[in-house]
Amino acid sequence: MASAEEVAKEAERRDIRDRWVLSAPALIIIFLAASGPLLIVVIYSFLTPGPYGGVVWKFSTDGWLSVLLQRDIFDDTLAFADAHLSIFWRSISLSFYTTVLTLFFGFPTAYFIATRPPKTREVWVFLVTIPFWTNLLIRTFAMQQVIRNEGLVNTALMALGIIKQPLQIMNTDAAILLGMIYVYLPLMVLPIYASMEKLDFRLVEAGYDLYAGRWQVLRRIVFPLIKPGVIAGSILVFIPSLGAYVIPRVLGGGKNMMLGNLIELQFGAGRNWPLGAAISITLMVLVMIALLFYVRNASRSEGAHG
Amino acid sequence: MPDKPDRNAIEVVNVRKIFGSGEGQVAALDTVSVSIRENEFFTLLGPSGCGKTTLLRLIAGFDFPTAGEILLYGQDIAPLPPFKRPVNTVFQSYALFPHMTVADNIGFGLEMLGKPKAEIKARVAEMLKLVKMEALAGRRTGQISGGQQQRVALARALAPQPKVLLLDEPLSALDFKLRKDMQIELKRLQHETGITFIFVTHDQEEALTMSDRIAVMSAGKILQVGSPWDIYDKPAERFVADFIGETNFLTAAVSNIGNGKARATLKSGATIEATVAEGFQPKDNATVVVRPEHAKLTKDKGELSGTVDNIVYFGTDTHIYVRLDSGEVFTVRQQNTRSAGCGFERGDKVGIVVGNDAAQVVRD
């Protein structure tokens, strides 16, 4: 007869073993699908490009150097790669504007939904998620149909006699921005709505009761309390914006590239896989910085709730 | 209760509030009028759904009346938004701002009124002292107990020195002991600040112990307004008598009405003197109420007679349930003494003495 202590120890051992067994599939997937490929990308970034794409197994830091610098083909000096820098800048600034503008439009939308009666709320949330049913590519082409020179907007404005020449929206940064706002708006609305739904509206009443006007209530009570939702929404919009590929490709034309297109270029026509890998990792680092910012802010506002 | 020749702080004039529309509409308040005096501790008492909270929210400005006027010192405030009314609320859930400290919560109203920083600081310190929360000024509201949150909510609502303080069942979330302490605390605060308190509760005992005057509400109407003593001893309506305290209901023929008194002939044939509400007309089967502590049990003959059905000991007193000869059950409350029992046993044939100052005729 085993003593109680032995039984307890055996149970504990079994418990630990079961946990490993149960989490094994997840661990394997994480290793094979996330860590493994990432490792390959890191290794590739330190190799030499092959003449027809691919890599030659020879160590080189050229890939990394080329992320921000370029070697002059005549005198071999290094200079900042203006083309890459402008693409980095476009990616970051367009993602930033996308985040700010989706917040600008998403916040009132979320507020509107959260203040409806519960049953109506579900309908509105449902409507917000409808765009997700359609493929991103199709949604982007739909946007193209709206803004192109012979598209909906220009045709309507010309028919009304407001403009004589069609507005050149397609193939500009504005087109990319418009496309990204359209595509990522729900990702801003939903997390803000989620935290706003949890917001105790009696606090809003308490604010009004204590002589705070509508703007003060928004600024001093509503906004601080739904900040986690705003931060989550901002991250959810900023990160995919930074790596956007389809939208700049379809709406920005060939000239207005973003990081995603630059990476694709290196793996395709550019035949510089190490550079592509290095830019990919750079993008990932940018995303991680954004996430760190989020985690720091989220933990701070959690502390604020006691 | 001495009636001071005071001004009215709040006058509610023919206020109706209808929620919903079409067939689903509900009259939460059905033509309610009431005047609340300056510096008064006034209680709106009634069961849930009677409209008491609706009335409070109309005074606070969170809802707007469908019809009627709400006057604050003679000025109609019904169309004003809540942030333009010199009225503050203590919410049932306290509704403290979780992202602010205790001190910031208390100072919020003053800050919104645009008071200078030094004044806010001094006033917050004063309020913290008033509710004995100085030590916890820097805490977040999530880090303090329910009773402490209650105090902060009070201090926050009192800090801007409102003309009227509205309290929406503020004690209902506290446990029994704390609730008793806070009742005394509230009375003290009302006395010290001299602010008119309008207090909403469904707890009749709370209403009786704290209020200067009580309005008893039911189904969107105010049934009776009066001092706790009026409400308890001279209920005008059957509902009021039933809702407040324990009561025996008897059927009697009421006649000879005059001077607030009447003759009530009980089914047993006995005749007693009863007080009667103004405007009551003689009636054959009127309802007469007798509080259990106002009747006496005797082994001799009384106005009523019956058999002891049950005896329940309550510590301070004993309730004796008597099955009357007419079939109803009548409760008599008898004060306990240390040495003796109640003197009766189940099955005893007893008489019930209803004194001349024990019965009240009520409207059904």
Domain boundary pick from B165, B200, B217: B217
Question: Degrees (nearest 5) of the Cα angle B287, B290, B296?
Answer: 140
Cβ separation of B109 and A211 shorter than 8 Å? yes
In a domain, B158, yes or no: yes
Nearest to B160 among A206, A207, A211 (CB): A211
Instruction: With beta carbons less than 8 A apart as the criterion, state whether B309 and B299 touch.
Output: no
pLDDT tens over chain B, length 364 residues: 445 556 899 999 999 999 888 787 888 999 999 999 999 999 999 998 899 999 999 999 999 999 999 999 999 998 899 999 999 999 998 999 999 999 999 999 999 999 999 999 999 999 999 888 899 999 999 889 988 999 999 999 999 999 999 999 988 888 888 888 888 888 988 988 889 999 999 999 899 999 999 999 999 999 999 999 999 999 999 999 999 988 999 988 888 888 888 888 888 888 888 998 877 888 888 899 999 999 988 888 888 889 999 999 888 889 999 998 888 899 999 888 887 777 888 888 889 988 778 889 998 8
Query: Of B167, B200, B217, at which residue does a domain stop?
Result: B217
Provide the shortest C-alpha distance from residue B193 to chain A (in Å).
18
Give residue ranges of A with CB < 8 Å to any B CB: 200, 202-203, 205-213, 216, 220-221, 224-225, 301, 304-306
What is residue A305's predicted lDDT score, i.e. its pLDDT? 45
Tens of pLDDT along A181-196? 999 999 999 999 999 9
Burial-class residue B269 by CB neighbours within 10 Å (0-12, 13-18, 19+).
exposed
CATH number of the domain at B343, please: 2.40.50.140
What is the per-residue pLDDT for B5?
54
Q: Is residue A49 part of a domain?
A: no
Can you tell me the distance from the alpha carbon of B265 to that of B167, in angstroms, rounded to the nearest whole number? 44
Q: How far apart are CA B203 and CA A162, in angstroms?
A: 69
Both A18 and A86 in one domain: the answer is no
Q: How many CB atoms lie within 10 A of CB A181?
A: 22
Q: Is residue B189 part of a domain?
A: yes
User: pLDDT at position B1, please?
Assistant: 45
Residue B191: which region, alpha, beta or left (left: phi > 0; alpha: psi -120 to 50)?
alpha
CB B206 within 8 A of CB B183: yes
Q: How far apart are CA B16 and CA B160, in angstroms?
A: 30
The percent helix, strand, coil of chain A (3-state, each to 5) is 75, 5, 20
pLDDT tens per residue across span A197-225: 999 989 999 999 999 999 999 999 999 99
User: With contacts defined as CB-CB under 8 Å, which chain A residues touch B141?
Assistant: 306
Are A29 and A83 in the same domain? no
SS3 A78: strand
CA distance A48 to A274: 7
CA-based nearest distance A164→chain B, Å: 49
Q: Are A208 and B82 a contacting pair at CB < 8 A? A: yes
- Gyration radius (Cα) of chain B, Å: 24
Same domain, B281 and B200: no
Chain B residues lying within 8 Å of A306, measured CB to CB: 98, 140-143
> Is the domain of A8 the same as that of A84?
no
Query: How far, CA to CA in Å, does B332 sit from each of A145, B133, B293, B318, B352?
Result: 87, 46, 6, 8, 8
- Structural domain includes residue B230: no
HSE of B147, CA atoms in CB hemisphere, 13 A: 14
Residue B240 domain flag: no
Please check whether residues B150 and B283 belong to one and the same domain: no
DSSP lists the bridge partners of residue B184 as: none
Q: What residue spans of B44-130 are helical by DSSP H?
A: 52-60, 102-112, 117-130
Residue whose entry in the numeric block shows the structure tokens 């082409």: A141
Same domain, B97 and B198: yes
Tell me what pLDDT residue A4 has.
Answer: 87
Per-residue pLDDT, A15: 92
The answer on B137 and B46 residing in a single domain is: yes
Do the beta carbons of residue B254 and residue B286 sit within 8 Å?
yes
Residue B138 in any domain: the answer is yes
State the pairing for strand pair B271-276/B283-290: unpaired
The candidate with the shortest Cα–Cα distance to B215, out of B204, B226, B206, B205, is B226
Range of the domain at B165: 8-217
Q: What is the DSSP secondary structure assignment for residue B34, as one 8-state letter? A: E
A59-72 residue pLDDT tens? 998 889 888 888 77
> In this complex, do B60 and A224 lie within 8 Å of one another by their Cβ atoms?
no
pLDDT at B325: 86
**Contacts with A302 from chain B: Cβ below 8 Å:** none
Record the tokens describing residue A125, joined without a space. Answer: 């949330």
- Given a contact cutoff of 8 angstroms between Cβ atoms, the answer to whether B350 and B306 are in contact is yes
Q: How far apart are CA B83 and CA B67, in angstroms?
A: 21
Tell me the residues of B at the A interface, defined by beta carbons under 8 Å apart.
Answer: 60-62, 81-84, 87-89, 91, 93, 95-99, 108-109, 112-113, 140-143, 156-157, 160
CA distance B185 to chain A (A): 22
| A171 domain residue, yes or no | yes
Residues ≥6 apart with Cβ < 8 Å to A67: A81, A84, A275, A278, A279, A282
Is pLDDT at A303 greater than 60 in this prediction? no
Range A234-262 average pLDDT = 90
Domain count, chain A: 2
B235 inside domain: no
Taking CA–CA distances from B157, the nearest residue in chain A reads A210
* B140 contact residues in A (CB cutoff 8 A): 304-306
A124-159 pLDDT, tens digit per residue, is: 999 999 988 889 999 999 999 999 888 888 999 999
Q: What is the CATH number of the domain that holds B113?
A: 3.40.50.300
Cα–Cα distance for residue pair B45/A152, rounded to 1 Å = 63
Are B235 and B362 spatial neighbours (Cβ–Cβ below 8 Å)?
yes
Residue labelled with tokens 């994480």: A30
Q: How confident is the model at residue A300 (pLDDT cuts 50, 70, 90)?
A: low
Q: Which two structure tokens, joined as six digits, stand for A165?
A: 């020449």
B-chain residues near A203 (CB < 8 A):
95, 97-98
pLDDT score, position A299 = 66
Residue B231 CA to residue B215 CA, distance in Å, equals 9
The per-residue pLDDT of chain A, averaged, comes to 89
Residue A245 lies in a domain: yes
Residue A88: domain span: 79-304
B185 plus B271 within the same structural domain: no
Nearest to B99 among A212, A213, A305 (CB): A305
Instruction: Answer yes or no: do B357 and B213 share one domain.
Output: no
- The total number of structural domains in chain B stands at 2
Residues B286 and B323 in one domain: yes
B84, B143, B160 member nearest A306 (Cβ): B143
Please name the residue of chain B whose CA is at the shortest distance from the CA of residue A203. Answer: B95
Residue A138 lies in a domain: yes
- CB of B271 closer than 8 Å to CB of B255: no
Nearest-by-CA chain A residue for B160: A210
Is B96 within 8 Å of B152 (Cβ atoms)?
yes
Q: Which two tokens stand for residue B16?
A: 């109706």
Average pLDDT over residues A10-29: 92
Residue B35 shares a structural domain with residue B143: yes
Domain identity same for B250 and B210: no
CB A226 within 8 A of CB A103: no
- Whose CA is closest to B38, among B15, B81, B5? B5
Gap between the Cα atoms of B247 and B291, Å rounded: 5
- What letter does residue B237 receive in the DSSP assignment? B
Separation of alpha carbons B106 and A197, rounded Å: 26
Name the closest residue on chain A to residue B166, using Cα atoms: A209
B201 & B288 share domain: no
Say whether both A276 and A211 belong to one domain.
Answer: yes
Q: Look at the alpha carbons of B140, B143, B144, B146 in this order and tell me if their dihedral is positive or negative.
A: positive
Q: Kindly state whether residue A72 falls inside one of the protein's structural domains.
A: no
Instruction: Give chain A positions within 8 Å (CB) of B88.
Output: 209-210
Residues of B in contact with A209 (CB under 8 A): 60-62, 82-83, 87-89, 157
**pLDDT of amino acid A301:** 55
Q: Of all helices (H) and strands (E), which one includes residue B304?
A: strand B304-313
Q: Which of A202, A211, A221 to mutate to test the interface with B (most CBs of B within 10 A)?
A: A211
CA–CA separation, B320 vs B343, rounded Å? 11
Residue A1 lies in a domain: yes
Q: d(Cα B233, Cα B215) in Å, to the nearest integer?
A: 14
Kindly state whether residues A136 and A7 are assigned to the same domain.
no
**Do A88 and A236 share a structural domain?**
yes
Q: Are B133 and B281 part of one and the same domain?
A: no
Residues of chain B neighbouring A195 (CB-CB closer than 8 A): none
Residue A304, pLDDT score: 46
Q: Looking at the structure, tell me whether residues B211 and B265 fall in a common domain.
A: no
Tokens describing residue A60 = 């080189």
Regarding whether A272 and A152 lie in a shared domain, the answer is: yes
CATH code where residue A104 lies: 1.10.3720.10
B87 domain-assigned: yes
**Alpha helix ranges (H) inside chain B:** 52-60, 102-112, 117-130, 146-158, 176-193, 204-210, 228-233, 238-243
- The answer to the question of residue B241 being in a domain is no
CB atoms B113 and A211 under 8 Å: yes
**A57 falls within a domain:** no
Q: Is the pTM of this model over 0.90?
A: no
Instruction: Give the one of A205, A213, A221 whose C-beta lies nearest to B62's C-beta.
Output: A205
Confidence of residue A81 (pLDDT cuts 50, 70, 90): confident
